[in-house]
Amino acid sequence: MDNIGIRNSLSRWVRDTGPYSDVVISSRIRLARNLEKYFFPSRLSHDRQEEVVNEIEAVISKPGISENTEGLRTVRLEGLPVIQRQMMVEKHIISPQQAKTNGHPGKAVVLQDDEAVSIMVNEEDHLRIQVLLPGLMLWEAWDMANNIDDTLETKVTYAFDDELGYLTCCPTNLGSGLRASVMVHLPGLVLTNQVSKVLKALSQVGLAVRGLYGEGSEPLGNLFQVSNQVTLGRVEKEIIEDLISVTKGLIEQERSARELLLNSDTGSQLTDRIYRAYGILSHARIISTQEALGLLSSLRLGVDMEIIGNVEPKKLDELMVLIQPGFVQYIAGGDLSSDERDEARADLIRDYLAKDKDIGES
């Protein structure tokens, strides 16, 4: 598969560039909704779950209902090969739980071609309406999610309580059912050892922070997801305003940390780190996801700081998704062992970077 073919299998948030893309990789709005006439999915039979899927499919496929839902199509997950479901997880358009269908035919996702909108059906709630956009675009994502929500609400009856708001399976989602989040790339704060302090401050103002692609103290690829914790009793716009304001603060802190790194005694070490990352990525024959994410993070930093030229930043974002196990196998054309994946991953990275091969040979 050539690079263009691969690229077409990526979501809009990976392929496009949004505002503040030097720090903010993506913005996500998610609304949890349930239909009044069914039990929550955890207590709903498989047959009845299929009814939910069919009902939603009927609504969105009705021509002319609204431009908000145009182009949406329903994908039943049980019908997809494991690797395809895994790729959806790697693109963050479905959750890992949703991908594990266990022969369950009632799990589905409703998508547009660019995958900016994805509605998981019968995950923890009947509907998880998600909009995922590149860069810092929370308002745009909110508008899109809100419009889809409004359109659906004209056709189905949501479970709603006048006091509690939208009813959800898990109490943490009660109320607005809104989770807003940003994925940020913070290599500067990590390298200057400020990241724990900064992230701790975020959790003290009610935000949740977690590393992306893997648990543990060393976040892979210096990527973090910041989201609101509380939904009950808060107005949606307040939640989003707060997150945007915090994210802008983070952007400033990250940019200052990068300047500090470049202008301090360690500036040449930073440059060395970045060029070595490129040298290894463009030459290794075996590479793990973990190592590759770390090196891609260094290289992305170098591109964003204009220390290294000739690499499109978006290419690196794309690689962060493409080097995940599902994509690596999809591109290689079949199931691979872990060792085979490490080789295929190295091949893929070299191939993807090859267009920029003159880089760093100054």
Q: How far is the CB of 158 from a copy of itself (least distance, A)?
A: 54
Q: How far is the CB of 287 from a copy of itself (least distance, A)?
A: 8
Q: How far is the CB of 340 from a copy of itself (least distance, A)?
A: 10
SS (H, E, C) the chain: CCHHHHHHCCCHHHHCCCCCCCCEEEEEEEEEECECCCCCHHHCCHHHHHHHHHHHHHHHHCCCCCHHHCCCEEEEHHHCCHHHHHHHHHCCCCCHHHHCCCCCCCCEEEECCCCCEEEEECCCCCEEEEEEEECCCHHHHHHHHHHHHHHHHCCCCECEECCCEECCCCHHHCECCEEEEEEEECHHHHHCCCHHHHHHHHHHCCEEEEECCCCCCCCHHHEEEEEECCCCCCCHHHHHHHHHHHHHHHHHHHHHHHHHHHHCCCHHHHHHHHHHHHHHHCCCCCCCHHHHHHHHHHHHHHHHCCCCCCCCHHHHHHHHHHCCHHHHHHHHCCCCCHHHHHHHHHHHHHHHHHHHCCCCCC
Q: How far is the CB of 267 from a copy of itself (least distance, A)?
A: 10
Q: Which CB atom, from 152 or from 274, has the smaller least distance to a copy of itself?
A: 274
Q: Which CB atom, from 55 or from 343, has the smaller least distance to a copy of itself?
A: 343
Q: Which CB atom, from 242 or from 340, has the smaller least distance to a copy of itself?
A: 340
Q: Which CB atom, from 58 or from 286, has the smaller least distance to a copy of itself?
A: 286
Alpha-carbon distance 298 to 187, whole Å? 7
Q: Which CB atom, from 156 or from 344, has the smaller least distance to a copy of itself?
A: 344
Which residues of this protein are in contact with a copy of itself, per CB under 8 A?
268-269, 271-272, 275-276, 278-286, 343, 346, 350, 354, 357, 360-361
Alpha-carbon distance 27 to 131, whole Å? 8
Q: Which CB atom, from 145 or from 270, has the smaller least distance to a copy of itself?
A: 270
Alpha-carbon distance 167 to 156, whole Å? 15
Q: How far is the CB of 313 from a copy of itself (least distance, A)?
A: 19
Q: Which CB atom, from 148 or from 261, has the smaller least distance to a copy of itself?
A: 261
Q: Which two tokens stand for residue 159?
A: 């479970």
Q: How far is the CB of 341 from a copy of itself (least distance, A)?
A: 13
Integer angstrom CA distances of residue 185 from 130, 135, 144, 293: 21, 11, 25, 11
Q: Which CB atom, from 217 or from 268, has the smaller least distance to a copy of itself?
A: 268
Q: How far is the CB of 268 from a copy of itself (least distance, A)?
A: 6
Q: Which CB atom, from 269 or from 310, has the smaller least distance to a copy of itself?
A: 269
Q: How far is the CB of 324 from a copy of itself (least distance, A)?
A: 20
Q: How far is the CB of 5 from a copy of itself (least distance, A)?
A: 20
